[in-house]
Amino acid sequence: MPLRTSRGARRVLTVCAVACAALGVVSRAHADCSKDTDCKGDRICERGQCVSPGAATASPVATPQAATPPPKPAPPPKPEPPPKPAPPPLKPKSPAVEAAELVSAGNAAIAQKKLPEACDLFEKSYEVRPQPSTLASLARCREKAGQTPAAIEAWRKLEATGGPAYKNQAKTALKALAPQSSPPPPPAAPAKSGPAAPAAAPAVTAVKSVGGATWSDGVGFVLTGPAPAASATPWTPPPVPVGLEHSLSRVSWGLDAGLAIYVPTTVKSSVTALAPRLDFTIRAEFRRQSSWLAPWFDVPSTIVFVPDSASPVRSILNTAPHVGIDVHPARLPNLGVGPFIGYRVGLMLGGGGSPTIENGVDLSPLHVHFRTREVDGAPPTFDLATYFVEKLSGPFHAEYVGLRMGVGGHTRFRVVAEARLNVDGTKSPGAQAFETVVASFPQAFFVGVGVGSAE
């Protein structure tokens, strides 16, 4: 049977048709074109709008961009390490150490021919620790560098403040530098305008001779010819050679007083075992800073007083000049080893006042002398000498060992000791007083103290 449509359904369909028609009209009303021919000129239809070809190409459809991911959170800051503790402050150098380092640097600069730099280092060392040896090095450096005024100033300061050895060294250097430091002659005064002065009359010579002018040389000789022109530079002695600047030669003296202790052969000996003794010694040694050999000689004199009236000898006056030579191993100036020989002459007075002469040879195979460091002639602070000697007198051979020590400067405190170890030999017929005493006392000791100069 045919489908019958209700009246309400037909109304709904009618409304829908009208709405669709209205939408089409509206869409055509909003669109300018539907194809390119609907546009004027060279414009084209793009999505219902007439646009130029360039505008359509320049404005593409925007494409959606991917969303930017959120930034990652920053890592937490690392903890800073704790600060390192500050290093302990350096201990300041002593003036002696700093001055010694500056002197060493100055010597190294001299070896490299850097004289101005070396002079400045010596001057800084002297400012840190004033020493005469440093001042002498500074003066020599200024002199070698051609700085004559500064060298003269340093030598004069050394002459005023140094010891005897430095004073002599400074005087010698100043004499050598005197011609270089003399001021130039003043310029001649300009000649004044006016009438010329009359010519001076020729000098009249006191001595005449045939054959021309004469002159006298001042010592009684008359020579012919004109006198030589006087020298403008005064004569000065030649400078001391460099090698002698390091000379350690010196003459010394010593005065010692002590007690001699004699050991008798028997307890019943009537001779006293104690006797005062006085020694005086003069010694000279010739050596340099780098010597292999050092010759020397000394003249010791001894006086012994025996208070015992029963002794065959009441007093002894003895002198024994010695000559020796010391060898310095590896040229060490602090150590000398060598032999010496001498001859002893003694005058002894007995209880009755009759003099007796005793003499013999002193022979030593070993003599050792040690000193502390010496710089530019300055004396050692400490010196020690030991020796072994055999004294020969007639049939007797007495062996001795001795020690001598000094502490101080140019004048020093001394300690001396000597021991007679034994006596060999027999008493000769008609024995003299000395032989009697030696036979009675095979062992003897002497200890004394005194003063003297540096050896």
Q: Output the domain CATH number for residue 139.
A: 1.25.40.10
Here the CATH number for the domain that contains residue 289 is: 2.40.128.100
In whole angstroms, give the CA distance from residue 449 to residue 404. 10
Rg (CA), the chain: 58
394 and 261, same domain (yes or no): yes
Which segment of 45-54, 209-218, 402-411, 423-432 scores lowest on mean pLDDT?
A: 209-218
174 and 271, same domain (yes or no): no
Inside any domain, residue 271: yes
Last residue of a domain, one of 180, 208, 231: 180
Write the burial class of residue 239 (CB in 10 Å: 0-12 exposed, 13-18 middle, 19+ buried). middle
Instruction: Summarize pLDDT for 425-448 with one digit per residue, the tens.
Output: 544 444 454 455 555 556 788 899
Amino acid letter, 313: V
Higher pLDDT pick, 388 / 48: 388
In whole angstroms, give the CA distance from residue 61 to residue 44. 17
228 Rama sector, left if φ>0, alpha if ψ -120 to 50, beta otherwise: beta
Q: What is the mean pLDDT of residues 18-31?
A: 52
269 and 132, same domain (yes or no): no
321 and 414, same domain (yes or no): yes
User: Measuring CA to CA, which residue among 318, 272, 307 is closest to residue 437?
Assistant: 272
Q: Does 295 have pLDDT greater than 90?
A: yes
For residues 45 and 55, the answer to whether their CB atoms sit within 8 Å is: no
Inside any domain, residue 31: no
Last residue of a domain, one of 160, 180, 200: 180
Q: Output the pLDDT for position 241.
A: 44
Q: Output the pLDDT for position 359.
A: 81
Please tell me the total count of domains within the chain.
2
Inside any domain, residue 300: yes
295 and 413, same domain (yes or no): yes
Instruction: Summarize pLDDT for 236-278 with one digit per residue, the tens.
Output: 555 444 444 467 788 999 999 998 887 765 444 555 567 888 9
Inside any domain, residue 61: no
Domain of 291 in residue numbering reads as 248-453
Could you tell me which residues come within 8 angstroms of residue 77 by beta carbon, excluding any fewer than 6 positions away?
A: none
CA distances from 73 to 76, 118, 269 (A): 9, 67, 117
Inside any domain, residue 308: yes
For residues 313 and 350, the answer to whether their CB atoms sit within 8 Å is: yes
Q: Does 406 have pLDDT greater than 60?
A: yes
Inside any domain, residue 77: no
306 and 391, same domain (yes or no): yes
